[in-house]
Amino acid sequence: MEKTFILIKPGAVSRGLIGEVIGRFERRGFRIRAMKMLRVDNELAGDHYDEHREKDFFDELVGSITSGPVLAAVLEGPEAITVVRKMMGSTNPMAAEPGTIRGDFGLEIVANIVHGSDSPASAEREIALYFSEDELV
């Protein structure tokens, strides 16, 4: 079984969408191996989005993810990384298909509801950024 990391972004948390998003993953059959609410500080935001440091939207992205509490979780299931990304939909919500999370709940690219790891290497890196070994149950 494969593990992936997801994070429900502050805008979605403040809109009361935690249950909706987690419910979709649960109903699909993923197991929740870890979950917590936290405030992401600037340092963690920079580590998380390290690959985007040189992008012109980096400051806006860090500002957005640090703007309020987030819900971080580790999901486990067959091909979890790919399947979760499919359920999330395209990065740009205006291009995301209806039926996907980003396609059903928003229109803003920076506040596009949910983050999900995009490869086995990023899943391993992101799980370790947000969770210690003993928090995976």
Which positions are annotated as active-site residues? 115
Nearer to ligand IDP, 33 or 48 (CB): 48
Stretch 23-62 residues interacting with ligand IDP (CB under 6 A): 52, 57, 61
C-alpha distances (whole Å) from 103 to each of 34, 37, 89 are 26, 24, 6
Where helices occur in 8-79 by DSSP H, the ranges are: 10-14, 18-28, 42-48, 58-65
Least spacing, CB of residue 76 vs ligand IDP, in Å: 20
- Provide the edge-to-edge strand list for the sheet that holds 31-38: 31-38, 70-77, 2-8, 114-116
Going from the C-alpha of 17 to that of each of 26, 42, 55, 82, 85, the distances in angstroms are: 14, 24, 28, 22, 18
CA angle centred on 120, ends 116 and 124, rounded to 5°: 80
Q: Please identify, among the stretches 53-61, 67-75, 78-86, 112-120, the one whose residues bind Mg ion according to the rule CB under 5 A.
A: 112-120
What is the DSSP code (8-state) at residue 137?
-
Give 121 or 137: the residue with its C-beta nearer to ligand IDP: 121
Contact set for ligand IDP, span 60-99 (CB under 6 A): 61, 91
Which is closer to ligand IDP, CB of 34 or CB of 65?
65
115 is a site residue for ligand IDP (CB under 6 A): yes
Least distance to ligand IDP, CB of residue 118, Å: 5
State both tokens at 40.
């992401």
Give me the residues that bind ligand IDP (CB under 6 A), please: 52, 57, 61, 91, 109-110, 112, 115, 118
Residues engaged in binding Mg ion (CB under 5 A): 118
